[in-house]
Structure 1
Amino acid sequence: MKRTPSTTRSAGASDQPLGPAPVNTERLPARTAVAVFLAFALAYFLSALVRAVTATLSPILSEELALHAGDLGLLAGGYFLGFALTQLPLGTWLDRFGPRRVILAFLTVAVAGCAAFALATSFGGLLAARVLTGMGVSACLMAPLTGFRRWLPPSLQLRANSWMLMTGSLGMVAATLPVQWLLPQLGWRGLFWGLAVLIALSMLVLRLRVPAWQLPSASPAADAEEAPNAPMGYGEIARHPYFRQMVTIGFINYGGMIAIQTLWAGPWMVQVTGYTPAGAAQGLFGINLSMLTAFWLWGVFNPRLVRAGWSAERLIAWGMPLSLGVLGAIVALGGHAGWGFWAAFCMTSTFGALAQPAVGMALPAHVAGKALSAYNLVIFAGVFAMQWAIGLAADALVFLGDGGQRLRGAMGLFWLACVAGYVMFWLAWRRANRRPAR
């Protein structure tokens, strides 16, 4: 496919500010854009709450169902498995049918998944319900990001993307202490019935507030390269140098951070640091509140950083080593590393979140759904792999002693994987810098 400087950038220009492709402009008026953002934010808030709630519920589920660490990792990872299974068809459907139609169809499945989880009586039933729920909410981030690619100007896309992630962090905050407070009144089954109702209500808001999709061909002003006669398949997207450069950061480093945030930080605080379940819920509250703050700050400062010449990959290259240092300190300190250390790890890992919108903006707007969903598949396949692998490693390292020491050893192996992921990204980034601009 022919490329111009306005469509994407050359591999040798990787340290230059990102220049988005010209698009079939369907810019929304400011008031409409705010309403659309809030409608999507409500759905994404609920999807993040559903995603993270297993960390808070892990002590209860482990006790009721006698789950081992590997079982718990598989149960939490089942959500991400369902999420990953839908990403490739999701991207195609988003580009073809638009965010509103796709997210409404998917959220119907999410409602069914929450109801199935509330009714489940065995580990197999819980796992199947988590997979179904993951499939159902898998459009809650990709739908707005695809819409923002055409509805908002480039500088506002960066801000809206970061603040959408901020609403996800708010959902994770709600999955900690508020869930802990509600459990005595509702129980975990009643909690999931309530989530099913709230997701159904969010569907009504989306139906009323989000505009219908217009195909690129409907506008005579559409750029020739954005027209449907220039298709781009997933194979071409996966081979794109910029996409490949970001793969290990998404799969290992950022995916691993989500695996920690949504599951393993809770067991670490209970088994290694000695927190009570209520204390662990308070720690998770602090971690997720810190993440909310981090994404809010990215929304404020990222457009300015890009204008100053700090591309996403440059920020990742200089910022991600901070997370490696914090994770290494956590492993070394063991029981002395409480929730504050995990908050620092998650916050410094948000440099990896810059990769996803950058991938979407580096590829043509008419394949934004495919590009974003393909990279989302990388991230959530990584979350599933890291969540399950940490649990399996903790079960396997029996020679280290009790469960806390085995979990600490598993985190040491995860740290080595994160170092390897960053090194592979850094080498690809340096190679791209050495290539002459085309």
Structure 2
Amino acid sequence: MRTETIRSIFWRGKDADPAANPAPELEPATSDVQKTAWQPRAALFFTVFLPFALGQYMHALLRNVNAVLVPDLVASLSLNPGQLGLLTSTFFFSVVLAQLPTAYALERHGPHKVQLAMLLLAALGALMFAYGQTLTQLVAARAVIGFGVGGTMMVAVKAISAGVVAERLPSSVGFLIAFGGLGSASATLPVRRVLELTDWRGLFIALAVLTAAIALFAWMVRPRKSAAPTGKAPTAQALLDVWRNRAFRKTIMLVLLSHTIYWGMQGLWIGRWLSDVARFPEGTVAYLLYLSMAAVIFGAIAVGMITEWAKRRGIAPLDVAAVGVAGFVLVQCAVVLNHSPTFAQLAVLFTLVGTITGIEYTIVQQSLPRELAGPASSCLNMLIFIGAFLVQAGFGQLIGLWAPDAVGHYPAIAYRVGFGVLVLLQLPGLVMYALERRAASGVAPILVVEEDFGKTA
């Protein structure tokens, strides 16, 4: 990325061109970032971006760590696929429960205080997981972890959108998701290396310490002055207004299911597919998962840059999303075909192409009225995590309909059927999008300009 592009993301200096970088319309300030209009990029990076990016790092690390721990957890607790899916997917259900309380606390106390409280709670959950002895105890600990990191994306987008120019928001969110990709990558091969030194209980003690350290760092670098709290929270009416918004409905119709499948599958079942169907040893599985999660970093940055490039050429973000979702579905179709020489490549492509689903956050932030931005983030997060919970738990139940072989591997047909169901679930959204675009414009969907997308009900 060019130096001036990085500068434009984290710099609001006196030499900035107001015409080239118009100030975004924002919600009422929650920190002195909004009150001080011109700040050097270093200050914005260390006080606004980095603390919340590290929170997203821990969110992704704790969400995906079970993918590598499956053999250890199964050996300790004798879990079947349904129980394994329940244990891991509890994280998503707990994140859903965290959305409204986090949104209220965010408006009342600001992002830095909320980040501190959330991550300390997640650290407590990690300690509970380390000392859990039964499935019930581990499920409860996983729920506490999920509740603790459940609002990191919402808090980060809230803080970062107030510190960058509006047209650079896609790139900023892309870098934020890239930090999440770094966390996901850390949950694979690095975790496998740590397990050579300790067991999974020792690992979670270390994760608890790391989470608490990041929480304290975020608190220490916070701005020392803050605006008066608003005390506002998303109301039922506000959430209903979000749902009635045409732009919001069009976005989730196309992207939501793919987003939930991407999150629900990458943190558990892609690894099990590599083990059960491709028959890779656990070390190779951890390495491929590492490559897959590392691909998220490059994919997230690329999505942000491509979205900005397309916007300058009159291509709407939703059209970019449509192309990406279609590619993501094609990757899943290839999994259904079960072509064994491409198993490793498909595992990486699943996460690389799936990063396009993160564009939902940018589209929602840019297309809805300012007063609906906060409730829209809460509503979107709830829908995504409810879906991810259902995908991760439901896929486990589906795989469990088949019997494992003598060494515990489930048959390829189970996974082919499972991925086939996922493909069928996503096709209606793509078809409806294409039909609506064609009917509205009379041209190929990719040529529709953003102004048409921005119309609301």
Q: TM-score range by the shorter chain?
A: 0.7 to 0.9
C-alpha change, 1:402 and 1:284, in structure 2 (3 Å) is closer
In 1, distance between residues paired with 2:248 and 2:81?
34
In 2, distance between residues paired with 1:138 and 1:429?
34
C-alpha change, 1:170 and 1:234, in structure 2 (3 Å) is same
C-alpha change, 1:418 and 1:216, in structure 2 (3 Å) is same
Does the 8 A contact of 2:23 with 2:165 survive in 1? no
Which residue in the other structure is 1:32 paired with? 43
Shift in Å at residue 286 of structure 1?
A: 1.1
In 1, distance between residues paired with 2:107 and 2:439?
32
After superposition, give the CA deviation of every residue in 1:34-54 in whole Å (9 maximum; x if it has no partner): 112112122211221111101
Q: Which residue, out of 70, 77, 95, partners 1:65?
A: 77
Shift in Å at residue 194 of structure 1?
A: 0.7
Which residue in the other structure is 1:223 paired with? none
Does the 8 A contact of 2:89 with 2:388 survive in 1? yes
2:103 equivalent to 1:91? yes
In 2, distance between residues paired with 1:231 and 1:432?
32
After superposition, give the CA deviation of every residue in 1:46-93 in whole Å (9 maximum; x if it has no partner): 221111101111121112211111111111111111111111232233
Shift in Å at residue 147 of structure 1?
A: 1.3
Alignment of 1:97-116 (within 5 A): 97-116=109-128
Which residue in the other structure is 1:296 paired with? 301
Shift in Å at residue 140 of structure 1?
A: 1.6
Q: Which residue, out of 243, 251, 261, partners 1:256?
A: 261
Does the 8 A contact of 1:319 with 1:351 survive in 2? yes
Q: Which residues of structure 1 form unaligned runs of 5+? A: 1-18, 218-226
C-alpha change, 1:102 and 1:216, in structure 2 (3 Å) is closer
Which residue in the other structure is 2:210 paired with? 198
Which residue in the other structure is 1:405 paired with? 413
Please tell me the root mean square deviation across aligned C-alpha atoms, in Å.
Answer: 2.8
The residue type paired with residue 44 of structure 2 is A
Shift in Å at residue 267 of structure 1?
A: 0.3
Shift in Å at residue 20 of structure 1?
A: 9.3
Percent identity reads 27
The residue type paired with residue 254 of structure 1 is H
C-alpha change, 1:399 and 1:285, in structure 2 (3 Å) is closer
C-alpha change, 1:432 and 1:103, in structure 2 (3 Å) is farther
2:450 equivalent to 1:414? no
C-alpha change, 1:210 and 1:433, in structure 2 (3 Å) is farther
Shift in Å at residue 428 of structure 1?
A: 5.6
2:133 equivalent to 1:128? no
C-alpha change, 1:88 and 1:215, in structure 2 (3 Å) is same
Does the 8 A contact of 1:43 with 1:140 survive in 2? yes
Larger CA deviation: 400-409 vs 138-147:
400-409
Bigger RCO of structures 1 and 2 (CA < 8 A, at least 6 apart): 1
SS in 1 for 2:65: helix
2:168 equivalent to 1:156? yes
In 1, distance between residues paired with 2:96 and 2:288?
28
Alignment of 1:219-368 (within 5 A): 233-333=238-338, 335-368=340-373
Shift in Å at residue 216 of structure 1?
A: 9.3
2:434 equivalent to 1:423? no
Q: With the length of structure 1 as denominator, give the TM-score of the two structures.
A: 0.86
C-alpha change, 1:48 and 1:300, in structure 2 (3 Å) is same
Shift in Å at residue 366 of structure 1?
A: 4.7
Which residue in the other structure is 1:15 paired with? none
Does the 8 A contact of 2:68 with 2:187 survive in 1? yes
Does the 8 A contact of 2:278 with 2:343 survive in 1? yes
